Amino acid sequence: MSTGPGPQPASPGEPAGRLAGKVAVVLGASSGIGRAAALRFACEGATVIAAARRFPELEALGRECGAIPVPCDITRDDQVEALARVALDRFGTLDVALNCAGFEQSTPIRDLTPERLYNMASVQFLGAVSFIRHMANAMAATGGGSLITISSITALLVGEGLAAYGGSKAAINHITRIAALEYGPQGVRVNVVSPGLIETPMTAHMFIPPVVRAFTRETPLRRMGTVDDVVEAVLWLASDASSFITGHNLPVDGGQLTRRLPGRDDFLASS
């Protein structure tokens, strides 16, 4: 397993990064928010273990920032457990764990078969709980840490076709609060970040002018969010700057939770 050259240490006189000396696991690091977060963590001084199903993309990431690539399918509990073991066996600690694994699927309830529901839940609920359990156990055994799951504002706002996606995110939000309660005495902080509609490879098909106009109109800050907006929030929760924050859901949505999710009629009106 190649480790790459590793992130460059700060030059003499330069301030250390916000994650200097920390070991961080990022699951879902092959693209989108996970990839951007892994790059930023490395720039901030962390030793990054980057995991996903698509290993060639992880190897490319490793060459770029020194991240250690580890293949991992979040629906395989044994692979998630092994991912936590990589941190403990190689470095003796796990300080930060970020779960960005997920996929978008819009299915109205009338078409929501058990198979479709299970496909969503296996990644975004069952897999996410597996990630919390194994990473939090590893952190609890080594003095604590910060565990972050990428959720969504669709867990809090209703939208057509989002029963499985938003429902699984809502479930993991609740599990997060319970995990914060149970693991707090061991120094483990557990939080979620809930982005609005952010342009990533997963959502690129939605970024057409009518949809962008409708979402911008329903966002008080009157712009679409970016991957960098989300990564800044994640970095804050990963760092010691948020050391007294746990059980929290941090929306990164430009204020959209004060309004509503636009739907098909809004998109047609914006055409």
Residue position matching structure tokens 């995110």:
169
Is 78 among the domain residues? yes
Distance, in Å, from the CA atom of 147 to the CA atom of 132, rounded to the nearest integer, reads 7
Is 216 among the domain residues? no
Model pLDDT, residue 213: 86
Q: What is the CATH number of the domain that holds 119?
A: 3.40.50.720
- What is the domain count for the chain? 1
Q: Looking at 125, 165, 215, 267, which residue is catalytic?
A: 165
Distance, in Å, from the CA atom of 173 to the CA atom of 191, rounded to the nearest integer, reads 8
Is 268 among the domain residues? no
Model pLDDT, residue 106: 87
144, 188 in Cβ contact below 8 A? yes
29, 54 in Cβ contact below 8 A? no
Distance, in Å, from the CA atom of 188 to the CA atom of 243, rounded to the nearest integer, reads 10
Distance, in Å, from the CA atom of 64 to the CA atom of 250, rounded to the nearest integer, reads 29
Distance, in Å, from the CA atom of 254 to the CA atom of 226, rounded to the nearest integer, reads 10
What φ, ψ does residue 250 adopt, rounded to 5°? Answer: -100, 105
Low-confidence residues of the chain: pLDDT under 50: 1-10, 12-13
Model pLDDT, residue 15: 55
pTM assigned to the model: 0.89
Range of the domain at 188: 23-199+226-258
Is 82 among the domain residues? yes
Is 89 among the domain residues? yes
Is-catalytic flag, 165?
yes
